[in-house]
Amino acid sequence: MPENALIIAAGFGSRLASLSPSKPLTPVAGVPLIELGVRQAAAAGVRRVVVVTGHEADRLEAFLPSLAARVGVEIVAERLADWSRPNGWSVMAGAARIPGDYLLMMADHIFATPILAKLAAQGRADRGVTLAIDRRTTSPLIDPDDATWVHTAPDGRIIAIGKTIPAYDAVDCGAFLATPELAAAIGAAIAKGRAGSLSDGMQALADAGRAATLDIGADDAGAWWMDVDDPRAHAIAEVEAPRYLPHIYG
């Protein structure tokens, strides 16, 4: 079980800009997204969280010490100088501050507790990364124009991943159990001329047979998750998050 988590929180968050100047600090039913992420990681057993900052970094970093004290975990901020780069650059920057394996999360994704708890237990020698996936690809909670799609083999390993792949049977939930292989794969992809997205590294590991998946299932309570990426999703999350995250909202 990993003791560390990495939360990517560096991007501009243009689709939520009408609600808040800082996406990670956007409240959902009164709780900022970054706090939801840290509390979810802590509930999965994490004791140290690296948060990669960029846009509105000063504001976000000023919030983290009080959050660490309230939740009882160590929080380390790693500022990305050029936060306009693809998200794989955030993964590399944050992973450099973490020894060993870690939960990797997006700051704008929220999850029912069982998802991260199950994911944290997926460490295996035969995989370099494990991605939480949802096979309910037509769920109304998924934005098809923004989703990252996944095509899997019969054994659950990833064949292809990306926003525009022609065939898919699952959607990327935005939570990973990563080993140091993931950041190395992103770096190798950049060296070959790729832009450096997280999906670039994931595809490289998939091509090597090292990218596995965790199917979150279809249970209403235990398999709930959301990408809070625009005002529509935010409005839904305001209603549903307190229902599915009782350990946070009480």
Supply the DSSP string of 33-88, one letter for each residue.
HHHHHHHHHHHTT--EEEEEEBTBHHHHHHHHHHHHHHHTSEEEEEE-S-TTS-HH
- The pLDDT assigned to 126 comes to 95
Measured over the CA atoms of residue 150, residue 152, residue 156 and residue 159, the dihedral's sign is negative
Band of residue 40 on the pLDDT scale cut at 50, 70, 90 = very high
Q: What is the CATH number of the domain that holds 14?
A: 3.90.550.10
| Cα 142 versus chain centre, distance | 15
Taking alpha carbons only, the member of 227, 116, 216 closest to residue 176 is 116
% of residues, the chain, pLDDT over 70: 100
Q: Is the pLDDT of residue 95 over 90?
A: yes
Q: Is the pLDDT of residue 16 over 90?
A: no
Band of residue 141 on the pLDDT scale cut at 50, 70, 90 = confident
- The pLDDT assigned to 18 comes to 81
Q: Is the pLDDT of residue 250 over 90?
A: no
- The pLDDT assigned to 1 comes to 81
When pLDDT is averaged across residues 19-45 and rounded to a whole number, the result is 96
- The pLDDT assigned to 163 comes to 95
Round to whole Å and give the CA distance between 194 and 83. Answer: 17
**CB neighbours of residue 76 within 10 Å:** 16
Two tokens, residue 55 = 């846009």
The total number of structural domains in the chain stands at: 1
Round to whole Å and give the CA distance between 83 and 11. Answer: 6
Taking alpha carbons only, the member of 74, 4, 2, 64 closest to residue 35 is 64
Structural domain containing residue 42 = 4-249
When pLDDT is averaged across residues 143-158 and rounded to a whole number, the result is 95
Band of residue 14 on the pLDDT scale cut at 50, 70, 90 = confident
When pLDDT is averaged across residues 51-66 and rounded to a whole number, the result is 97
Taking alpha carbons only, the member of 246, 249, 21, 224 closest to residue 109 is 224
- The pLDDT assigned to 221 comes to 80
211-215/129-134 β-pairing: parallel
Two tokens, residue 169 = 């049977």
Task: Give 1-14 as a 3 state SS string.
Answer: CCCEEEEEECCCCH
Helix H segments across 106-173? 113-120
CA distances from 56 to 61, 96, 181 (A): 9, 22, 30
